[in-house]
Amino acid sequence: MTRKISAERGRIQISGFDAEKVEQREPLSDWTEESGDETQTRWQRGWERFKRNRTALIGLAVVAFLSLVAIFARPISVMGTTVQPFSLAPYDPAAILYLQDPSIGVYDPPSSTNWMGTDASGRDLFSRLLYGGRYSISIGFIVVVITASFGTIYGAVSGYYGGWTDEIMMRIVDTIFAFPFLVMALVIVAMLGGGYWQLVLAFSLVGWASYARLIRGEVLKVKENEYVMAAKALGARDKSVIFRHIVPNAMPPLLVVASLNVGTVVIGVAALGFLGFGMPPGSAEWGTMLDQTRETLIQGPDGTIPWWATVFPGMAIFMFVMAMNMIGDGINDALDAQETGAGQQGGA
Amino acid sequence: MSLRRFILKRFLSIIPILFGVSVITFALVHLTPGDPISQMVGLNPDMTAADEARLRARYGLDGPIWQQYLTWMENVVVGDFGEEISTGRDVTEIIMTRLPETIVLGLFGWAFGLIIAIPSGIYAAVNKDKLGDTISRFLALSGISIPNFWLGLMLILIGSLWLGWWNVLPPSRQPLYHPDMLWYLLLPGITIGTASAASIMRVMRTSMAEEMNKEYVTAARAKGLPERSVVLKHVLRNSLISVVTLAATLTASIVSGSVVVEYVFNWPGLGMEFVEAINGREVNLIMAITLFFGVTIIIANLVADIMYAVLDPRIRYD
């Protein structure tokens, strides 16, 4: 506030404008016509911050590790040609080992040949664990992509048009919210029968509503901004206003919810598997593996408890979900998304 | 809008949702191939087409789907959910005998969640970014990440098989209100409450930390209030409001949780019955329990919204 008042007469002092200062500041700002794209810089800034978050990076590493291990667990062949020849898993996850090697039995404890022991049917638990990631992880990501896309479109349309459209569309969302997530998925899978795509469908039908509600809220917030008015005034069509001007601004909270949701879906799939409704019995899906050993947890075949058959598959689910939540928290901090719902993610 | 009008409007708003929930419940069960009657006919080759028609008429499964829905709704409105097809037991009665078990378990889970979460949330917010905060945040993150069925299995493994403190199943099941049952409630209660505890703790920490930066806190400190009363009397009260908004979400998580946790612990509640109903394709029972869960959550949402409006006069009712 120490403004020097010119002693000279006849001069007009313009306050608040100092040509020198402006010139000094100029090189500091790297604003150019090209880099004026706000979203781009926001993502870059977010990534910079994310990279400095150790917890989030650990999460990312664990998720990447588990995904790669699942991919390279057994060779993948598409229509006869082998796309992925590597095989990390020492045994075929479906092979019953005592048929090949009589020294390996049912519920063998962890040993140097079977690192995590064998399961109720005498299959190698370690191989099954590596392979099992394929089901849970891929369902988790596929469901999140489907639900996030559909929910975004739904929420954007609802929020943008408002009025009766909004009213009806949001009542439908409220209705979906009235069902506990797992209960509804359970009914759908029970009615459709288990299987990979049935699980995807069930969790997609259940999961889209939270994105719709989130995006609608963001659209309402953003809709009144002047740049949206400007776009409209310039004659932009509704579709382009929604998807080029409104939705990109709603992306940060969406990304946070999506990353946390992967974990929720993975737990949900495993929970259904555990209840006996997910993948067909005997498949290496983590939850289904736990179901198979549930009866023998209390009393093993020869009086000992095969703890490994319960501990390891659950540990795999836990590790993956935890890592996913670490990533979600990291994205949340990095992008400063206000509304995260992070604290609202209960277990299945 | 006055508070009373807000409450009234909120009450009216659940009508379309209730309608929607009943339609979806009905549709989920009926739009899939293979109804219980064709299953019965398949199991019993002696049945003639006339028998089948009679059975369909008896369970209201003849006629177009919308008519079946209306028949079902007419009965549901007066509390008649039909009977279990395999045993002929009354569905309402089944629910009533199973319900107390689930309510007790759910309340125990809630209580466990609050008892763990609120003190640790306060502790974490007060010691923000210190070691204790880091540890409790890590535990909270584990709590929301751990699959509840696996947590249950682990507790059984540790508590009953290694330590030998619990029988896996109560040897002779006492009535629910018997004090002995508290001991058996402990493991399932902890299992069902852990996710809630972790969620509440995370929200408590965030909202407390946010409140701590507000000016009234500085004012209270400047006034010379001891830190303890600043935190417990001023900050805590304001941040508890955000826990109330969590209540509805947590009810949903406990309802979902009850299905899985009761299955793990063989707890004879509604969730266990639900799994059995699905295994037996007991259409009436599935619909009744799904509807019941849905209505519970609608009411929880309603109560949370109203409590929020009452507790925080700043919010606008629109």
How many Å lie between the alpha carbon of A44 and the closest alpha carbon of chain B?
26
- A275 neighbourhood in chain B, CB within 8 Å: 259-260, 263, 275
Listed range (A197-206, A298-307, B45-54) with the worst mean pLDDT: A298-307
Instruction: List all residues of chain B from 160 to 199 with a beta carbon under 8 Å from chain A.
Output: 160-161, 168, 194-196, 199
Chain A positions in Cβ-Cβ contact with residue B144 (cut-off 8 Å):
325, 345-347
Q: What is the dihedral of CA A239, A141, A55, A125, to 10 degrees?
A: 180
Q: Write the DSSP assignment of B174-229 as a string of letters.
A: PPTTSTTHHHHHHHHHHHHHHHHHHHHHHHHHHHHHHHHTSHHHHHHHHTT--HHH
Taking the CA of residue A81 and the nearest CA in chain B, the distance in Å comes to 37
SS3 content of chain B, % helix, strand, coil (to 5): 75, 0, 25
Least confident of A36-50, A151-165, A230-244: A36-50
Residue B97, chain A, CB below 8 Å: the answer is no
pLDDT of A310-334, one tens digit each? 888 888 899 999 999 999 888 888 8
Tell me the shortest Cα–Cα distance from B24 to chain A, in angstroms.
8
Predicted confidence (pLDDT) per residue in B234-272, tens digit: 888 888 888 887 877 788 888 888 899 988 888 888 998
Confidence of residue A203 (pLDDT cuts 50, 70, 90): very high
pLDDT lower than 50: segments of chain B: 171
End-to-end CA distance of chain A: 59
For residues B275 and A275, the answer to whether their CB atoms sit within 8 Å is: yes
For residue A241, the tally of other CB atoms under 10 A from its CB is: 20
For residue A53, the chain B residues in CB contact (below 8 A) are none
Pairwise CB contact (< 8 Å): A322 & B194 = no
To the nearest whole Å, the CA of A242 is away from the closest chain B CA by 24
Which chain A residue lies closest to B279 (C-alpha atoms)?
Answer: A190
Q: Which residues in A lie closer than 8 A to residue B316 (C-beta atoms)? A: none
Q: Which residues of A touch B195 (CB under 8 A)?
A: 346-347
Interface check for B285 against chain A (CB to CB < 8 A): the answer is: no
Share of chain A above pLDDT 70, in %: 72
Instruction: Select from A171, A181, A274 the Cβ nearest to the Cβ of B20.
Output: A171
Under 8 Å between Cβ of A314 and B153: yes
Contacts of B206 in chain A (CB under 8 A): 343
pLDDT band at A208 (very low <50, low <70, confident <90, very high): very high
Using CA coordinates, name the residue in chain B closest to A277.
B279
| Look-up of token digits 């006629």 | B63
Per-domain residue ranges for chain B? Answer: 99-311
- The overall average pLDDT reported for chain A is 77
Is the Cβ pair A347, B250 closer than 8 Å? no
pLDDT at B196: 87
Would you place residue A345 in the very low, low, confident or very high pLDDT band (cuts 50, 70, 90)?
Answer: very low
Q: Is the pLDDT of residue A207 over 80?
A: yes
Partner A contacted by B29 (CB < 8 A): yes
A contacts of B293 (beta carbons < 8 Å): 179-180, 183
Strand partners, A78: A81
| B52 class by beta-carbon count within 10 Å (0-12 exposed, 13-18 middle, 19+ buried) | middle
Task: Give the CB-side neighbour count of residue B132, counting CA atoms within 13 A.
Answer: 11
Lowest mean pLDDT among A267-271, A276-280, B171-175: B171-175
A290, A324, A325 member nearest B153 (Cβ): A290
Contacts of A188 in chain B (CB under 8 A): 28
User: Tell me: the pLDDT tens digits for A6-52?
Assistant: 445 555 555 655 555 555 555 555 555 555 555 556 777 778 888 88
In this prediction the ipTM stands at 0.85
Contact across the interface for B256 and A174, Cβ inside 8 Å: no
Q: Which residue of B has its CA nearest to A190?
A: B278
Helix (H, G, I), strand (E, B) or coil at B242: helix
Q: Among B17, B137, B150, which would you mutate to test the A interface (most chain A Cβ atoms within 10 Å of its Cβ)?
A: B150
Band of residue A145 on the pLDDT scale cut at 50, 70, 90: very high
Half-sphere exposure of B174 (CA within 13 A, CB side): 10
3-state secondary structure (DSSP) of residue A74: coil
Q: Which residue of B has its CA nearest to A326?
A: B141
In this complex, do B157 and A310 lie within 8 Å of one another by their Cβ atoms? yes
Lowest mean pLDDT among A98-107, A136-145, A324-333: A98-107
Read off the pTM. Answer: 0.83
Judged against a pLDDT cut of 70, whether residue A256 lies above it is answered with: yes
Q: Is the pLDDT of residue A348 over 80?
A: no
**Nearest-Cα residue of chain B relative to residue A172:** B20
Contact A271 B156 (CB under 8 A): no
